[in-house]
Amino acid sequence: MNRPFLLSLEDVNKTFDGFKAISNLNLYLEEGELRVIIGPNGAGKSTMLDIITGRTRPDKGKVEYGPDTDLTRLNEYEINRLGIGRKFQTPSVYVNHTVEENVWLSLEGKRGVFASLFARKTPAQRTRIEEVLSIVGLLPHAKRVAGTMAHGQKQWLEIGMLLAQNPRLLLVDEPAAGMTDEETAKTGELLMSLEGKHTIVVIEHDMAFVRQIARKVTVLHQGTVLCEGSVDQVQSDERVVEVYLGRKKKGDH
């Protein structure tokens, strides 16, 4: 059957010790779109990524990738091999290696870290490393040891390491956390430059950042979609305002 979506989650549920972290969640992503997911702490945003990437198995529901791949049957490694890359909140780079070595070690098709470091780079690999570093704005820092870089630069490097694997779907959890305003704006530009080339899901709290990059925004609350639309639409939605500002309607306790 022909399905128009790159990823679809249907009626997904996940309970932890009796607590419903994900509840009847439906989410549909089109190929090449940049989707922003917002929602208060504990809304289930990271758990949703855990489910997509196979870190957590849903109790119930469908997670379909492409026309006919059921992700709930695959493990994390197999899912990653299908072109789904995830960036966790905190940067994880090889701190003792240079920026370019970090990208090299992440290149698509490379085997173990040990094999990589003692192999020679092919011209195609050199070109690809330069390409990736240029996309994430770190070409001038190629020879620096990653551990000496600023927090924002480490985050960009890690995005570069994901790009080195040429993912079809890129999942990015709160990339602007802990960044300066300037770094945040740069991160926004970087993510927007990837739109169309990859399908990107960005989870974010910082509303200025959301406003900068957002096309379609999905608001998650109590493990389910509260509303979806443009930034203006969701920001003016009464339910979203209530959830974010903790306002109560008359009659609520």
Q: Which of residues 6-65 bind Mg ion (CB under 5 A)?
A: 45-46
The yes or no reply on residue 218 touching Mg ion (CB under 5 A) is no
Cβ atoms of 36 and 211 closer than 8 Å: no
Give the contacts of 1 (CB within 8 A, at least 6 positions apart).
67, 68
Report how far residue 67's alpha carbon sits from residue 248's, in angstroms, rounded to the nearest whole number.
42
Q: Which is nearer to Mg ion, 45 or 141 (by Cβ)?
A: 45
Cβ atoms of 142 and 99 closer than 8 Å: yes
In whole angstroms, how close is the CB of 50 to Mg ion at the nearest point? 10
In whole angstroms, how close is the CB of 201 to Mg ion at the nearest point? 13
Cβ atoms of 206 and 175 closer than 8 Å: no
The binding track of 23-62 with respect to ligand ADP, each residue x by CB under 6 A or -, is ----------------x-xxxxxxx---------------
Name the residue among 170, 174, 178, 182 with its Cα closest to residue 53: 170
Q: What angle do CA 42, 192, 199 make, to 5 degrees?
A: 70
In whole angstroms, how close is the CB of 229 to ligand ADP at the nearest point? 19
Of ligand ADP, Mg ion, none, which one sits near residue 42, judging by CB under 5 to 8 A according to partner kind?
ligand ADP
Report how far residue 239's alpha carbon sits from residue 249's, in angstroms, rounded to the nearest whole number.
10
Of ligand ADP, Mg ion, none, which one sits near residue 39, judging by CB under 5 to 8 A according to partner kind?
ligand ADP
Q: Which is nearer to ligand ADP, 47 or 53 (by Cβ)?
A: 47
The residue count for binding ligand ADP (CB under 6 A) is: 10
Residue at shortest CB range from Mg ion: 46
Contact footprint for ligand ADP (CB under 6 A):
16, 21, 39, 41-47
